[in-house]
Amino acid sequence: MADDPYAQEHFSKLLKKAIEDAKAMFDAPVKQYMMFADFEQDVKARKVPDVPNEFIDESGKHNKHAQAYYGLFKHLFDPSLLEENGLDKDTLVSFAYAIDDVVDKAVAVNSLNPSQMEKDIKVGLLKLLFKAIGTDNAKKLSDEVIRITRHGISRSH
């Protein structure tokens, strides 16, 4: 879950609550098991309440990267910043898929040159986002996208 800080934060809070709830159910091990089994399914599906279902296509394929990029907006920025800049759910979903495209292209073109890949991601995201969230916030988000990309690449090798 290191590639999705927003989901990681959400499930960390839920796990703490689940542990407390499990302590309260000390005499009901079956209920404890069912509660943790449900929790595990939500984690596997990355089921975060305020993340829309647009990241699962008609065939059931889940675009976890685009979902993570969507979550970055909520993880990094105050809701008032998003609201002031007109970044509603649909706009954030569009940006998440656009970020995914920028990353996919940079990885495909520069798979043997990680520093150029990161540069292409930064430039692409600055062009994409600076009008919507400003240069400093676009840099902040691009740094996190690069961290997620590094993590994904290190896991695929």
Quick: pLDDT tens for 23-77: 777 777 777 777 777 777 776 666 777 778 888 888 888 888 999 999 999 999 9
Tell the residue number behind the tokens 């065939």, with chain if given.
59
Angstrom distances, CA of residue 127 to CA of 15, 23, 76, 90, 116: 38, 50, 19, 20, 16
In tens, the pLDDT along 99-145 reads: 999 999 999 999 889 999 999 999 999 999 999 999 999 999 999 99
CA 44 to the chain's CA centroid:
14
Q: Taking phi first (over 0 means left), then psi (-120 to 50 degrees means alpha), and beta for anything else, what does residue 59 get?
A: alpha
| Residue 23 parent element (H or E) | helix 5-24
Lowest-pLDDT range, 15-19, 83-87, 116-120?
15-19
pLDDT at 157: 37
pLDDT at 60: 81
pLDDT at 108: 92
The residue among 3, 148, 12, 6 whose CA lies nearest residue 77 is: 6
pLDDT at 156: 47
CA atoms of 71 and 7, how far apart (whole Å): 7
pLDDT at 46: 66
Angstrom distances, CA of residue 18 to CA of 3, 42, 43, 46, 130: 23, 13, 13, 16, 40
- Strand, coil or helix: 122: helix
CA atoms of 149 and 155, how far apart (whole Å): 10
